[in-house]
Amino acid sequence: MKNDKLTVDEYDALEEVRRGIKGDRPSACVGRNTKKLAGLKLISVARNGRITLTEGGQQALFLRRCILGLRAVAAGGDVALDADVAAFLGKKSHIVPREGGFDITDKGRESLADIEAQGF
């Protein structure tokens, strides 16, 4: 995903597509964002109008979950992370497990500072 920043609304649309669109028509949120997300190749629209998440869209959602998880760990407290997010952040040495949750490492703080500086 190049250097394109997505809005909360666009991430919500991606998440809705990931879960599966209910009914015949997509929601207003998905409808508003289809053109941009398809242009970024985060979703694909079939000839019959069916909207699906691409691999790039899956990666964008996973990256967002990782950033939100890292922010939550940095904020402190007992944070429950999804297993895939915890495994990824642990493998990258951004967090370390502790009883009842996780602690952020210096490397994790540096990465979070870089993410914040980029405006994500």
pLDDT bin (cut points 50, 70, 90) of residue 18 is very high
Give the start-to-end residue ranges of the domains of the chain: 8-53, 61-117
C-alpha distance from residue 48 to each of 7, 39, 40, 45, 119 (Å)? 27, 18, 20, 8, 37
Q: CA 94, CA 85: separation in Å to the nearest integer? A: 11
Q: Which residues contact 86 (CB under 8 A, 6 or more apart)?
A: 69, 95, 97, 102
- pTM, entire model: 0.86
C-alpha distance from residue 25 to each of 52, 64, 119 (Å)? 13, 26, 33
User: Which two tokens mark 41?
Assistant: 């190749």
pLDDT bin (cut points 50, 70, 90) of residue 95 is very high
In the chain, % of residues over pLDDT 70? 97
